[in-house]
């Protein structure tokens, strides 16, 4: 099993967490939604796997490249 870090591509506020710990995800499934400059940007699974950790909370500000979740592939 491999642990994969899910990172943000842009700075913004974490608006909503969609996925739950233990949930099986397919590549490109949304995990959470980031709000930046009045736009909603989904943070998606980089590949198939199971969500094992969420490292941020709704309302937090994250910067580009922040690890916000981990998937076990």
At 18-44, the pLDDT tens digits run: 999 999 999 999 999 999 999 999 999
Contact 62, 31 (CB under 8 A): no
The CATH number of domain 3-72 is 2.40.50.100: yes
The label of the residue with tokens 């490249």 reads 65
pLDDT of residue 1: 83
Structure-token pair, residue 43:
């943070």
Q: Measured between alpha carbons, how far is 28 from 18 in angstroms, rounded to an integer?
A: 13
Q: What are phi and psi of 67, to 5 degrees?
A: -80, 120
pLDDT of residue 52: 98
Mean residue pLDDT across the chain: 97
pLDDT of residue 40: 97
């Amino acid at each position: 099993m491999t642990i994969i870090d899910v990172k943000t591509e842009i700075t913004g506020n974490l608006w909503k967490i969609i996925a739950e710990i233990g949930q099986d995800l397919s590549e490109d499934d949304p995990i959470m939604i980031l709000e930046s400059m009045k736009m909603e940007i989904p943070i998606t699974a980089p590949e198939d796997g199971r969500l094992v950790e969420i490292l941020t909370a709704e309302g937090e500000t994250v910067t580009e490249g922040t690890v916000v979740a981990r998937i076990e592939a």
